[in-house]
Structure 1
Amino acid sequence: MKAIRRFTVRPVLPDPLRPLCDLARNLRWSWHAETRELFQAVDPEGWRASGGDPVRLLGTVSAARLGELARDRRFLRRLTAAADDLDDYLHGRRWYQSRTAGDRAAGDRTAGDRTAGGEAADEPPAAIAYFSPEFGVTAALPQYSGGLGILAGDHLKAASDLGVPLIGVGLLYRHGYFRQSLSRDGWQQEHYPLLDPNELPLTLLRRPDGAPVRVGLALPGGGSLHAHVWVAQVGRVPLLMLDSDVEENGPGERNVTDRLYGGGSEHRLLQEMLLGMGGVRAVRAYCAVTGHPAPEVFHTNEGHAGFLGLERIRELTDRGTGFDAALEAVRAGTVFTTHTPVPAGIDRFDRELVARHFGPGAELPGVDVGRVLQLGRETYPGGDPGVFNMAVMGLRLAQRANGVSTLHGAVSRSMFAGLWPGFDPEEVPITSITNGVHAPTWVAPEVLRLGARRIGAHRAEDALSVGGSQRWDAVADLDDTAIWELRRELREQLVHEVRARLRASWRERGAASAELGWIDGVLDPDVLTIGFARRVPSYKRLTLMLRDRDRLREMLLHPTRPVQIVVAGKAHPADDGGKRLVREMVRFADDPRVRHRIVFLPDYGMAMAKKLYPGCDVWLNNPLRPLEACGTSGMKAALNGCLNLSVRDGWWDEWYDPDFGWAIPTADGPTTDEDRRDDLEAHALYELIEQRVAPRFYDRGANGLPERWIEMVRRTLASLGPKVLAGRMVREYVERLYTPAARAHRAMTPDAAGELAEWKARVRAAWPGVAVDHVEVDEVSEIAELGSTLALRVRVTLGDLTPEDVEVQAVAGRVDTRDGLADARAFPLKPAGGGGPDQQGRWAYEGPLTLDRTGPFGYTVRVLPAHRLLTAGVDLGLVALPADSAADGAGVLLR
């Protein structure tokens, strides 16, 4: 029989235990060991059964046990200490508060430090709204699929630790992402358990009269999509999650937030409209209800949330601002982060579908739908005029954009260069901030305790959350024996975890207990352990290690230097190719000859990862370079003393060092055949493991310790530790993106936005008349001396523009064999007369050009738009160059 109605019965805690509710509802417990230990003490067996979820735990504790705890003075003292610690964490001063103007002496500020409105120009934003389609905060709130969501969760947690006033915005998926199991023959199977928000660490956002806050979207044909707003408290950071499963919606609309990355094209479009547009409306409602400062900066984590810019434009146009001025105002305070290194990873919708949802009778009725469609139009060569590109819209709606590693920033600039025609990819305005991971979440308690014994608990906590190389330098003094005993302890814990999960998996696959005695011998706590776990798209190459199966078996079964491998990963439910890779790996791991040395664990998620990273000795990553945007799993492993063995992609490309890891050589040239490339890189992987990794692990000194291996572990912790922190990442976002965006937002008053919009329109209209007419230079031989200076004289036609509208630059640098400029720098030239009535808009410019490097050297001249409110001259994508690259003096060489 089925129940005709479902509801949740909450426990009533005795008054002395009421603080447990606050501790359970704030997700800080997910990275705060003392709070988790307190909940474990409530009911150790119930804690294990709940999967370490305090909300579920409190729903199962008996009244008798609660009464016993309410009389337990020792427990109550621990409870009071935990509650006081949380209160201090939530309300105490942290890193961000030290950056506010209130902490700087008034005498340190000059008139130039203030905007027209009177506030300090470099004042960090009062609040930032951070939008993401998924958030991986804790396994108890399963709203993530992979790296993007885990990164978003770590971003919120690090912001909380630093005191950054962030508001997270996402969707509440009633089925989350799928749970993975395996059939008897190893085929991935998906399960979608129903999540009840009342049983999750969430609170429904309500108005002062107690009514739930509801946001809505207008649908074509006169319908509406409604959503409630649930709030997860992530330390100091509220995470707003929109839920369409409400009674006001019809069946189709109720299912909009059913699954993460599920459904067809229109379903995804509605999800992204609700995330972006509904998310802004939820933020406004949250700030109105709670008094939280309104965000000055909006950060869209990948293109899924890009519609937030359209909602903010609507807010301004409803108040009488023109579309173009509203666009400038919105761009000023928007940050866009791209995570994909390939066009195929970007959401693209049919233009007609988008037009229907933003046309008359639907959303943005007062905005010309053609203007909306233009924002997502692929205007670059090879672009599809029939699609609406979410990443393209994200870039057009944001004044600041970034990739998530140095290499990914370069890949992104090349991938989107067509949006800035006439500029080299190096000048495309996409910077990079390399991702980081939230160490308090991912560092094993045993590792933290070892650090605490060395430098003290408070300094160890600061080292993990705030960073600072000085705190991490203390690792150099850790005793070899202590490090090696820690590594073995963590490896042994992983062995027990793997056996338990493997047994549960085989039972799901239909095996009887009597068949599973062999599992007691799976893995060995004294054998070199390699981990490989991630999503399973083809480019991550789950099965590269299987290219030569006989050779892999020899490594696994080596008599003196054996290797054991733990593999996990999910393929997208619609990706049959990825599922075939999973089955291929499972079938190899099922082989009785090697199944004690290699295992595949289904249902990879945060709970598994927290055991996997610390317990592995080596973390393997072998994507197709450069298709890994960042690859943060190796960062989490490194924080636990696990060494990286990886292709030089993502973060490993910039921070690899042979002192603490290995780089797999690549064969990623444009002419390399795909199968040949995989064969070569698999061979290189085998060589590294056989010749360098395994020998170093098993090379023991007179004291029985692998001293060189331990030194690599020590260097990993000391050198990579402070770099890979999410605290370092969020500080970079604050300093390099959020604060400049807030400054631009404050400067973009309605009058300034209107001025900039009118100026851009005028410049675009006049730009066809702009030209570089003539370039001349002092006579110079083909061979010039380093440090000498050339006097450049340039004549340009500006047409209807004036020198105040442009900047004329000399661009100089090394030249390649095709006379292309590399490592170039721009030098402004100064007006030197012209522009009179009889000169038809012609102007003269001049300036010095210093020959500051040896070798082949060249220069050119260009004209760019210039305005005080532009972040860069490339912003408009307009440039005028000499018609003939061989103009007088151009291309001079210095050898």
Structure 2
Amino acid sequence: MQPKIAYFSAEFGLSESLPIYSGGLGVLAGDHVKAANDLELPLVGVGVLYRRGYFQQRILEDGSQDAQYPPMNPEELPVQAVLDGHGHPLFVEVPLGNRLIYLRVWQANAGNVPIYLMDADNDRNSDQDRRLTDRLYGGDQETRIAHEVILGIGGVRVLRAIGFEPDVWHMNEGHVAFLALERIREYSAQGVSFETALEAVKASTVFTTHTPVPAGHDQFSFELMDRYLGDYFWQLGADRAKILGLGRHNDKFNMTRLAFQTASKVNGVSKLHAEVTKELFHKWCPDIPPQDIPVEAVTNGVHTETWLSPELSELYNQHLAYNWPRAVADPQTWVKVEEIPDDKLWGAHQSAKQRMTERLSLPNLQNVLTIGFARRFATYKRAYLLFQDLDRLERIVNHPDHPVAFVFAGKAHPADHPGQELIRRIVEVSKMEGFQGKVFLVENYDMNIGRHLVQGVDVWLNTPVKPMEASGTSGIKAALNGVPNCSVLDGWWDEGYNGENGWAIEGKTEGGRGYQDWVDGETLYRVLETEIAPLYYRRGEGGVPHDWVTVMKNSIRTITPEFSTARMVGEYWSRAYAPVAERGRRFAANNLEVAQRVGAYKQFVRTSWDSVYIQDIKLSPHEDGTRVQACIRLGRIWHADVRVEAVGSDGHGGIWKQELRPVTENAGGKYLFECDYPNRIEVWRKANANIRVVPISPDFCNDFELELTSWGTNWR
């Protein structure tokens, strides 16, 4: 039987008709559940029905952003009320400080996949509490912690109320991590110890982190935690210090830290992001090298049928295999794109472009290279990069032989004043004499506008500060529509770019922000002037730019299968869901036998680890290499419960490891370990090699689960 998955997310971008999303995280979540439906996976989503959504954006004459929150009536939304066993609206109770909040449950659907949404706006709550679920990412820290209590604790209670019993709990970002505390509370109510409950919860949980940006990792003061959850802590079977320790970082309670400590599988959303995340999480456990931090990579994808233009869909129906929508993730499906006549593909794109300009009330841009930039106006995404040298930009947009137009769209969070300043600056530039009719800002960016843009522009532009773009997905949506990317090599594009399917900006990572901006801006101008624009205007018979269409085809063929949610969710299934479901079942079997054993073992190791230390390390020449010997005191810990290894730099940003074997045991828990290192002593020292001891167990989900390490200090 397939394991059942509960997918928790603070936002879901299912369609523009249900505006409970703000950007990439929510749209990714929406695409995730749609792919689960396509693959017929037993998955349900859990989120919040925000009665006023994110916000509706109006751009005023001076370029300032006006955020409006019109109320939404659930009766007018694509949701339905969930009913209890008596046919009445289903409610769940959630503790919040010294009171209870009553949440009504609604259901949206992605095909056959239900998404359960909680709503505090009902007459069982006080007027103040009815406003708790009004706005996505609105309000202050108190509103945010209330949202996350509702998401995590309330979400678990919703699933219990409807009778859905997940085998795997997927936390999509740390916003939902309180679900782990609620599951521990459930076990505690059955008389299970905190340590055993924690292991059972951890064994069946997956955590996906989405951003290296600090603002994306929620953290709360301990005072706020006490105020909102103090009456809840005692129900978890542990003292306050132990519970707060699950999320403690820099004297705050960090929700990402909580998620990391309560999940057995943790992943970033691109290969580069996984490496950046390892560096970020290394701060929590500085004795473990970043390369060993247990974070995997599952690169994001997009739901092809949601984002594909009707013009190209019709073309694919004519030229690809009849079942291509069911074989999106198979690269062979897209080989036949090369056989589509150039004029047909170009004509389909021009039709999509015409539809875009009409829908977005833009002038006729059919014969103008049109570049799109649409996303949240966070400063690290650098919408300003294009405007560093206005004289040069003016020459680009007004070039007599190959003019260029730019279409911008996006919202800045109402509290993000620098982001709003970027919007104002774009409006200001668009009104300058040299840029009128060449720079446009489309207001009130949503999924519908985004769909028209990725289908209709000629090039998709992305200029983040490397490596701050965890993945990004808008460029993938453009690529499957034959719109090539021009992007900093960050996030998914660092994996997707092959030299022939778009254009790359290396992305400076050294020097200050000003230097990085200048170098990347210069590169962008040069690529626009010397590569993109000339290629676009190089026309053949019938006005078809054959060389440009070659790039379009390469973009479709190489990016669509590899960066589809069909591939992504399939990868989650094989690498996370299936193994975590099996692990969860094993830990829960026989009245939590394995969970109890692992919890007790960890307690023993933690209380004994202070006595573990490396007394002496001896290096001596040996045949063609070096014999390495380490005298190690383990105290009460058995030698088979640790791994002793040499660790050094490989000189290329990685590390090498070589295990030492125990050769003698002395009194008092002292052991001699040794290995033969295949190089000379000088090479060992150049690699900054050292000996470390880590506790291990075949029941651990990774070698560094306990975050305990002892390193050598004495050399001879």
Taking structure 1 as the reference length, the TM-score comes to 0.77
2:273 to 397, 402, 408: 408
Measure the CA separation in 2 of the matches of 1:173 and 1:553. 43
Q: Does 1:433 align with 2:293?
A: no
Counterpart residue type for residue 753 of structure 1: A
1:135 to 4, 8, 12: 12
Deviation at 1:793, TM superposition (A): 4.2
Deviation at 1:496, TM superposition (A): 1.6
Counterpart residue type for residue 612 of structure 2: V
Contact 2:248 2:257 in 1 (8 A): yes
Q: List per-residue Cα deviations over 1:542-579 (Å, max 9, x = no partner).
A: 12211111221221111110111111010111122211
Between Structure 1 and Structure 2, how many residues are aligned? 710
Counterpart residue type for residue 809 of structure 1: E
Structure 1 partner of 2:401:
560
2:602 to 760, 766, 785: 760
Measure the CA separation in 2 of the matches of 1:364 and 1:256. 24
Measure the CA separation in 1 of the matches of 2:517 and 2:691. 45
Structure 2 partner of 1:866:
696
2:423 to 582, 586, 589: 582
Deviates more, 1:693-702 or 1:319-328: 693-702
Deviation at 1:252, TM superposition (A): 1.4
Query: Secondary structure at the residue paired with 2:360?
Result: helix
1:352 to 212, 223, 228: 223
Q: Does 1:276 align with 2:152?
A: yes
Q: Does 1:421 align with 2:286?
A: yes
2:91 to 189, 200, 214: 214
Deviates more, 1:654-663 or 1:792-801: 792-801
Counterpart residue type for residue 733 of structure 1: Y
Query: Secondary structure at the residue paired with 1:359?
Result: helix
Contact 2:96 2:146 in 1 (8 A): no
Deviation at 1:624, TM superposition (A): 1.0
2:673 to 845, 849, 863: 845
Structure 1 partner of 2:663:
832
Counterpart residue type for residue 155 of structure 1: H
Q: List per-residue Cα deviations over 1:801-843 (Å, max 9, x = no partner).
A: 1123212223355258xxxxx53233433333315xxx11012
Measure the CA separation in 2 of the matches of 1:663 and 1:855. 38
- The within-5 A match list for 1:505-520 is none
Q: Does 1:607 align with 2:448?
A: yes
- The within-5 A match list for 1:470-549 is 470-499=332-361, 522-549=363-390
Structure 2 partner of 1:188:
65
Which has the larger share of strand?
2
Counterpart residue type for residue 464 of structure 2: P
Contact 1:620 1:646 in 2 (8 A): yes
Structure 1 partner of 2:631:
795
**Structure whose CA Rg is larger:** 1
Counterpart residue type for residue 834 of structure 1: E
Structure 2 partner of 1:237:
113
Q: List per-residue Cα deviations over 1:219-252 (Å, max 9, x = no partner).
A: 333x210101101121121100001111110011
Measure the CA separation in 2 of the matches of 1:299 and 1:848. 44
Q: List per-residue Cα deviations over 1:102-154 (Å, max 9, x = no partner).
A: xxxxxxxxxxxxxxxxxxxxxx5x21111110000011111100001000100
Query: Secondary structure at the residue paired with 1:757?
Result: helix
Counterpart residue type for residue 698 of structure 1: Y
Query: Secondary structure at the residue paired with 2:383?
Result: coil
Any stretches of 5+ residues in structure 1 without a counterpart? 1-99, 101-123, 503-521, 817-821, 889-895
Measure the CA separation in 2 of the matches of 1:206 and 1:710. 53
Query: Secondary structure at the residue paired with 2:699?
Result: coil
1:169 to 37, 42, 46: 46
Q: Does 1:686 align with 2:525?
A: yes
Measure the CA separation in 2 of the matches of 1:745 and 1:666. 42
2:82 to 194, 205, 209: 205
Contact 2:478 2:484 in 1 (8 A): yes
Q: Does 1:390 align with 2:267?
A: no
Deviation at 1:873, TM superposition (A): 1.7
Q: Does 1:265 align with 2:141?
A: yes
Contact 2:693 2:711 in 1 (8 A): yes
Evaluate the alpha carbon distance shift between residue 323 and residue 365 of structure 1 in structure 2; reply closer, same or farther with a 3 A threshold: closer
Contact 1:643 1:660 in 2 (8 A): yes
Query: Secondary structure at the residue paired with 1:619?
Result: strand
2:199 to 301, 307, 328: 328
Counterpart residue type for residue 497 of structure 2: Y
Structure 2 partner of 1:449:
314
2:243 to 372, 380, 393: 372
Contact 1:324 1:754 in 2 (8 A): yes
Counterpart residue type for residue 480 of structure 1: D
Deviation at 1:309, TM superposition (A): 0.2
Counterpart residue type for residue 570 of structure 1: K
Any stretches of 5+ residues in structure 2 without a counterpart? none
Measure the CA separation in 2 of the matches of 1:211 and 1:494. 45
Q: List per-residue Cα deviations over 1:662-684 (Å, max 9, x = no partner).
A: 11243331x33x33432332222
Contact 1:297 1:334 in 2 (8 A): yes
Q: List per-residue Cα deviations over 1:401-420 (Å, max 9, x = no partner).
A: 11111111111111110222
Deviation at 1:264, TM superposition (A): 1.4
Deviation at 1:523, TM superposition (A): 3.8
Contact 1:355 1:373 in 2 (8 A): no
Q: List per-residue Cα deviations over 1:601-632 (Å, max 9, x = no partner).
A: 00000011111101111000011111111111
Q: List per-residue Cα deviations over 1:426-479 (Å, max 9, x = no partner).
A: 11111111100001100111111111111244x221233xx1011111112111
Counterpart residue type for residue 174 of structure 1: R
Q: List per-residue Cα deviations over 1:743-770 (Å, max 9, x = no partner).
A: 2211213222121111111111111211
Query: Secondary structure at the residue paired with 2:230?
Result: coil
Query: Secondary structure at the residue paired with 1:419?
Result: coil
1:460 to 304, 314, 324: 324
- The within-5 A match list for 1:103-142 is 126-142=3-19
Contact 1:219 1:362 in 2 (8 A): no
- The within-5 A match list for 1:236-315 is 236-286=112-162, 288=163, 292=164, 294-315=165-186
Counterpart residue type for residue 472 of structure 1: W
Q: Does 1:224 align with 2:100?
A: yes
Structure 1 partner of 2:710:
880
Share of identical aligned residues, percent? 39
Evaluate the alpha carbon distance shift between residue 322 and residue 584 of structure 1 in structure 2; reply closer, same or farther with a 3 A threshold: same
Structure 2 partner of 1:636:
477
Evaluate the alpha carbon distance shift between residue 363 and residue 218 of structure 1 in structure 2; reply closer, same or farther with a 3 A threshold: farther
2:436 to 595, 606, 613: 595
Deviation at 1:717, TM superposition (A): 0.8
Q: Does 1:722 align with 2:561?
A: yes
Query: Secondary structure at the residue paired with 1:135?
Result: coil
Deviation at 1:167, TM superposition (A): 1.0
Deviates more, 1:166-175 or 1:364-373: 364-373
Q: List per-residue Cα deviations over 1:656-705 (Å, max 9, x = no partner).
A: 12201111243331x33x33432332222111101110011111235643
Deviation at 1:356, TM superposition (A): 1.9
1:620 to 461, 468, 480: 461
Deviation at 1:850, TM superposition (A): 5.0
Measure the CA separation in 2 of the matches of 1:680 and 1:790. 46
Evaluate the alpha carbon distance shift between residue 462 and residue 220 of structure 1 in structure 2; reply closer, same or farther with a 3 A threshold: closer
Taking structure 2 as the reference length, the TM-score comes to 0.95
Query: Secondary structure at the residue paired with 1:190?
Result: strand
Measure the CA separation in 2 of the matches of 1:372 and 1:247. 33
Q: List per-residue Cα deviations over 1:13-65 (Å, max 9, x = no partner).
A: xxxxxxxxxxxxxxxxxxxxxxxxxxxxxxxxxxxxxxxxxxxxxxxxxxxxx
Deviation at 1:594, TM superposition (A): 2.8
Query: Secondary structure at the residue paired with 1:765?
Result: helix
Contact 2:194 2:237 in 1 (8 A): no
Evaluate the alpha carbon distance shift between residue 570 and residue 830 of structure 1 in structure 2; reply closer, same or farther with a 3 A threshold: same
Measure the CA separation in 1 of the matches of 2:707 and 2:578. 25
- The within-5 A match list for 1:1-12 is none
Contact 2:650 2:656 in 1 (8 A): no
1:713 to 534, 538, 552: 552
Measure the CA separation in 2 of the matches of 1:434 and 1:855. 37
